[in-house]
Chain A
Amino acid sequence: ETGVTQTPRHLVMGMTNKKSLKCEQHLGHNAMYWYKQSAKKPLELMFVYNFKEQTENNSVPSRFSPECPNSSHLFLHLHTLQPEDSALYLCAAGRENTEAFFGQGTRLTVV
C-alpha cells in the first residue's frame, strides 16, 4: 500500500466512449502526476499538477484531459481514444525532489 489509489484497475473502452480514470492520495503531497507506460517503452510523463495547478503538459493529445479538483484527487478524462492509447496509466504523488509514490495503475484497453 503506497498511499496512492487508482480506480478502476482495468478498463476496456470503445473508441467512441468517454471514461475517466481516478487517482486519490492520502499522503499530503502537493504534486500529482500522470504517467503512461506502453509495452517495451520507458515511462512517459503526461501531466503534472502542483498545488492543484497544472504545471506541465508533455505534448499530450487533447483526447486526454486531466482534472485536479483538490490536492488529494486527480482525474484523467478520456474521449475518442485510439487503439494505440492502450497502456498502463500510472498516477504518482510526491513533493519536490523527494521520493515519489505510485499507484497500482489502470490497465486501459481501447477496442
Chain B
Amino acid sequence: KQEVTQIPAALSVPEGENLVLNCSFTDSAIYNLQWFRQDPGKGLTSLLLIQSSQREQTSGRLNASLDKSSGRSTLYIAASQPGDSATYLCAVSGWGTSYDKVIFGPGTSLSVIP
C-alpha cells in the first residue's frame, strides 16, 4: 500500500532564504508525482508535475526533483518570499492506474517571515 509522508510538517524561514521541502513514498512504482500549493481555506494549485521518466522539473523559482529508486522527491524554493507562505502537498500516482489512485501527503506548512 502506497504511503506518502512529508517532512517537515511545518517550516518557518526568513524572507530570501532558499529552502527544501521533502516528500517520501513507500512504493517506487509510480507514474508521476505532483506538487501542489494550498492557501488557507482554498483549493489546490498545481505547481509542478514530474513523470516517472523524468528527474526534475523547473518553474520560475521552483525546482522539483524525483528519485524513484529511493522513493523521494524534493521541492526547492529559491529566494523565498512572504507570498510563498502556504501549505505544500505532494501527490503520487501509481503505475498503470488511473488518476483516481493518487495518494496525497499530509503537507508541509510554510511561513516566510518578512
Binding site of B, secondary structure by majority: helix, strand, loop or mixed? Answer: strand
Q: How far is the CA of A101 from the CA of B91 in the complex (A)?
A: 13
Interface pair B104/A42, CB less than 8 Å apart: yes
B18 to chain A, nearest CB (A): 26
Q: How far is the CA of A2 from the CA of B45 in the complex (A)?
A: 8
Contact pattern, A 33-65, Cβ under 8 Å of B = 1, otherwise 0: 100000001110100101000011000000000
Q: For the complex, is A99 an interface residue (Cβ under 8 Å from B)?
A: yes
Q: How far is the CA of A92 from the CA of B32 in the complex (A)?
A: 17
Give the one of B36, B91, B93, B99 with max A CB within 10 A: B99
Measured as residues with beta carbon below 8 angstroms from the partner, the interface class of chain A is: 20 to 34
Q: How far is the CA of A6 from the CA of B41 in the complex (A)?
A: 13
Q: How far is the CA of A2 from the CA of B62 in the complex (A)?
A: 19
Given the complex, which residues of A lie within 8 Å of B42, measured CB to CB?
A: 104-105
Interface pair B100/A90, CB less than 8 Å apart: no
Q: For the complex, is B86 an interface residue (Cβ under 8 Å from A)?
A: no
Given the complex, which residues of B lie within 8 Å of A90, measured CB to CB?
A: 43-44
Contact pattern, A 74-102, Cβ under 8 Å of B = 1, otherwise 0: 00000000000000101010111111111
Given the complex, which residues of B lie within 8 Å of A48, measured CB to CB?
A: 98-100
Given the complex, which residues of A lie within 8 Å of B104, measured CB to CB?
A: 42-43
Contact of A105 (CB < 8 Å), options: B4, B43, B91, B99: B43
- B residues with CB within 8 A of A: 4, 31-32, 34, 36, 41-46, 49, 89, 91, 93, 98-100, 102, 104-107
- A residues with CB within 8 A of B: 2, 4, 6, 31, 33, 41-43, 45, 48, 50, 55-56, 88, 90, 92, 94-105, 107
CB-based closest 5 A-B pairs: A102-B44, A48-B100, A104-B43, A43-B104, A102-B43
Listed by A's residue number, 13 A-B pairs whose Cβ atoms lie within 8 Å are A6-B43, A41-B106, A42-B106, A42-B107, A43-B104, A55-B98, A90-B43, A94-B99, A96-B99, A97-B93, A102-B36, A102-B43, A102-B45
